[in-house]
Structure 1
Amino acid sequence: MAAKYDAITLDRYLDEDLTLISNNNVWKEYKRGVQCKGDVCYIYKPPGDSIWWIKLVAHVENSSLANIDDLLDASLKERHPEWHELFIDGRVVHKSEDGRSEICYFQYASPSIFISPRDTCYIKVRRTLPNGFMLSYRSIDLPEARDPSGKFVRIIFKGAHLIEKTDNEDSFRYTYIQYADPGGLIPKMLANRPQCDLILKEIEGIRRAMKNPTRLDRYTDTMRAADGH
């Protein structure tokens, strides 16, 4: 695993995603949010590929960079239910010694009774930027990250979060790209269109989660209460 996911490979994932995010020539506006018309979902249809890339661009107000950092990275597993309504369970399988990357396994409920629940295993790698941070994701397959029940269908997934500070200290620009093959028997073309709706729901979940304290803040408050302060 160390040889396959060396620093050069991880940097390549980040560079690929940053290049795709900024390539405005390939993205076409597809849908806007219902609650916030400033949430814009774009699509990119790669030639010869039935799976779409999807990009969401949004602004999140009255929220700190520290909180979104905690939500998506430092406390990803613990805080997943705060913003992803389909999250069932999961775990961090492995963390790199330098803390730059980790391997995650997560399970998600199906939005329909006619579709099996999904699971995914991916490596998440971080890059700290002068005005924020970026997280890139790539699916991997590990024997220890498989559910023995057989009821979950594996998603093949890659994508990235780009979080950038704005002029307002209490807000940030949120960009998310995703390429997700749902697996199973679902025709891939039919799986594309619902993804924008799911991602637009996720950004509303993130806005709600930004009203919650970070895991560290909650821990500190608990310790103070226990000490009688």
Structure 2
Amino acid sequence: MALLRRWYVFIPLLALSGWGAVMVGQGVRPEYAVEATAVLVAGPGASDVDGPYGGRESTSEVLAIVLDSAASRDLVEKQGLERDYEIETQERSSIIRLDVLSDSESVGTQTLATVLQMSEQELAARQDKAGIRPNAQISLQVLQQPAVDEVVETGKMRNMAIVGVIGAAFSLLITLLFDDIMGLLRRRLSRRRERRPQPATSASEMPEAAGVDPSETSASDAPVPDYAPAPSRSKT
């Protein structure tokens, strides 16, 4: 009932809340989910020296640990790229999957490209140090180049929903408060009118109030007193 009575307050506030939600949604930039896939490949040559990482399966796991370290992430961040990339490996598999979520498509793809380059350098440096010939070294072959897999807009819809719900709640609250204030003022005015003294009616207004013209009243119409005047005494 309060919303029906104060619709002229609730509807503008609700419209203002909707406008605010739209503006917030336009201000949120979409995020780009970038993915890349690589596989470890053994060299065609044979080596008499054991690899620093063992076989290809264990190499993928150790390589993921190295790239997931704080030092590697700091190095990526110093280049202005995303440090919150993710590395996924599977047990008994030489496949490595990389993904990152970034506000910029170019920054996301460059982040994974840098991580892949760091992986190749790490593999070559460790195997060179171990004395493994280049044709016998395990190398990283990129199966899927870094590319945008999905444009994520969940943050935009979430912010719009939050602003819309909060705005509608405040609109309802303000409307109810306004209705209560107006009702309180109305009750106070009515009480003041009841307490105000009514003006007394004068004698000259009584004939008019009764619908009688004062000019038509005569002396004969005046009320006769119930007593008779006392007789006057004459002097002899």
Higher fraction of strand:
1
Q: Select the structure of larger CA radius of gyration.
A: 2
Under TM normalisation by the shorter chain, which class is it? under 0.3
Higher fraction of helix:
2
